[in-house]
Amino acid sequence: MRIYLDHNATTPVRPSVAEAMSGILRAEFGNPSSVYEEGALARARVEAARSELARLLAIEPRSIRWTGGATEANNTLLFGLLSPGDHIVTTEIEHPSVAAPLALLESRGVEVTRIAPDETGCVAAETVLGAVRSDTRLVSVIWANNETGSLQPVAEIVDGCRARGVMTHSDATQAVGKAVIDLASVPLDFLSTSAHKLGGPKGVGALIVRGDPKLPAYLHGGGQEYGLRGGTENVAGIVGFGEACVLAREELADRLVRYGALRDRLWAGLQKRIDGLRWNGDRDRQLSNTLNVEFEGLAGEVLVQALDLEGIAVSAGAACHSGSIEPSKILVAMGRTPEQARASIRLSVGWGVDEDQVDRVAEVLGTLVPRIRAAEAP
């Protein structure tokens, strides 16, 4: 049986999620916009899922807009809110679904200030707030980085921005279901997330919109999702997202402890067997499930391929850039050289991973790394 340690890329669909979706697909085909019984039932399913995500995030259900994923949520916000002449503060460690839209908007006249992280992958709240100007339209800071798991000081940044009258956004896709997110205590104006990072299906996400910022429609049509996203809702996917939120709420405390124990066990096993390792990040300020490791002198892509042949799935950097030989922009932003960045891989645990599996991964790497180093030695 293969071992899957790339839960930051995507997660297995949980059995109860698949069962909930299957019931919709088999028997409940109504359009949520229809006024008769089948449509009313579909609408009830959509709104019940909305309430479950709201409970998980401690936000009002009416603040949730369903999307096709976090990438769509990020694009909907950034292209809808920012215009030429606006100023935004963000970071150098954002997911490409934030970084790429901002690069395009920058070419159209939006001014973008990007804050660099420290060597652990975290930005300083005071540096972010120090970049805020009187004309700043938005501050967008990722909650947890997808490659290193580094947790950013979102609460402190939000407090500072509210005092300055500036709106805030966080791409929390990696954090939802793996970190405590309480939007009653951290009153972000906008938050993006996606179902497939927490045991739900691909193809469904959400944009949290607090208040009434007058975002224009991203998809024009039937006016669904409070006029933001026209088109018939993906009822089965939304129901699956809702069930994944139920599981996340019920299991979060256990996940934080269990995932951290597995990650630390894996790290200890690697240290016992392999020299020349570096943990990219700070374990006290990152997701408990994520371990990004530099293997000195190796090419991460080679190691990923060798592990795949051994039945183990991990990644070199972000899955969105799999197959790329470019060094991780995140690790380079943290001060790593391109060679050090290329020598790093990401291992991320999640549901279904156990101690025997992480022990096996440490054992296999303990054999592969010396062999590859010897083969590549001059």
Q: How many CA atoms lie within 13 A of 57 on its CB side?
A: 33
- b/e per residue, 298-335, with b = 16+ CB within 10 A? bbbbbbbebbeeeebebbbbbeeeeeeeebbbbbbbbe
Strand pairing category for 205-209 and 64-67: antiparallel
Q: How many CA atoms lie within 13 A of 144 on its CB side?
A: 25
Q: Could you tell me the two tokens for 239?
A: 């129901």
257: burial class by Cβ within 10 Å (0-12, 13-18, 19+)? exposed
28-37 contact pairs (CB < 8 A, 24+)? 28/235, 30/235, 31/232, 32/224, 32/232, 32/233, 32/235, 33/222, 33/224, 33/232
Catalytic residue list contains 320: yes
- b/e per residue, 1-16, with b = 16+ CB within 10 A? eebbbbbbbbbebbee
Closest CA relative to residue 192, chosen from 159, 144, 255: 144
Catalytic residue among 122, 161, 245, 320: 320
**Cβ proximity of 2 and 311 under 8 Å:** yes
Phi-psi region for residue 121, left (φ > 0), alpha (ψ -120 to 50) or beta? left
Active site residues per annotation: 320
